[in-house]
Amino acid sequence: MNILFIMYDQLRFDYLSCAGHPYLHTPNFDRVAARGVRFTNAYVQSPICGASRMSFYTGRYVSSHGAQWNGFALRVGEMTLGDHLRGLGMGCWLIGKTHMKADAEGMARLGLDPDSVIGARQAECGFDTWIRDDGLWGEGPDGFYDEKRSPYNAYLKDKGYPSQNPWADFANAGIDDAGGIASGWMLANADKPANIREEDS
């Protein structure tokens, strides 16, 4: 048996055509939903995405698991969905973002090597990782969320985007009326076309 669980980031409950949205068309997600289960009565436990994800992984309230903000460590020893499914003989892989941060102090107290299999799983919410990338590189060469270099930034640099941080200057930006970079995170720039080729987006 295989389970593919897709957790969106910042998607309203009704912003899929399979959820009844009258104008948005999401045929690929609709096909997945038609063959699976949509959690139509699920509610987030925190307005902060990382803390909410940790609640889903652990089945516990934020006040119980303690990872109260993006980048807050989930304590060593917190059992997660990955741990439980692995106990049933399933491989459990995490792809994408979580804002998870390893509990380095707890691992050090227990003598866990972060590069060991157990240490790596503790650092990644009880999952093995395929591509784990929080996808936010808004400051510095690759940003403040990801301690490792961004594979997407490396890809964009290889494609010829001339910037220290092409994620910020191209993938998440437009061009303003004066020809300057207009951050895609600002509502005032919502009408600007993307500053990146579609095939690289």
- Measured CA to CA, the distance from residue 135 to residue 143 in angstroms comes to 9
d(CA 170, CA 156): 9
Alpha carbons within 13 A on the beta-carbon side of 109: 7
DSSP 125-183: TT-EEEEE------STTT-SS-SSPPHHHHHHHHTT--SS-HIIIIITEEE-TTS-EEE
Of 61, 17, 7, 15, nearest in space to 39 by CA: 7
Q: Bridge partners of 194?
A: 174
Catalytic residue among 18, 21, 25, 99: 99
Q: Is 25 a catalytic residue?
A: no
From the candidates 18, 21, 25, 49, give the one annotated as an active-site residue: 49
Task: Give the up-direction half-sphere exposure of residue 82: CA atoms within 13 A in the CB hemisphere.
Answer: 22
d(CA 116, CA 50): 24
Q: How far is 162 from 156, CA to CA, in rounded Å? A: 9
What are the catalytic residues? 49, 99
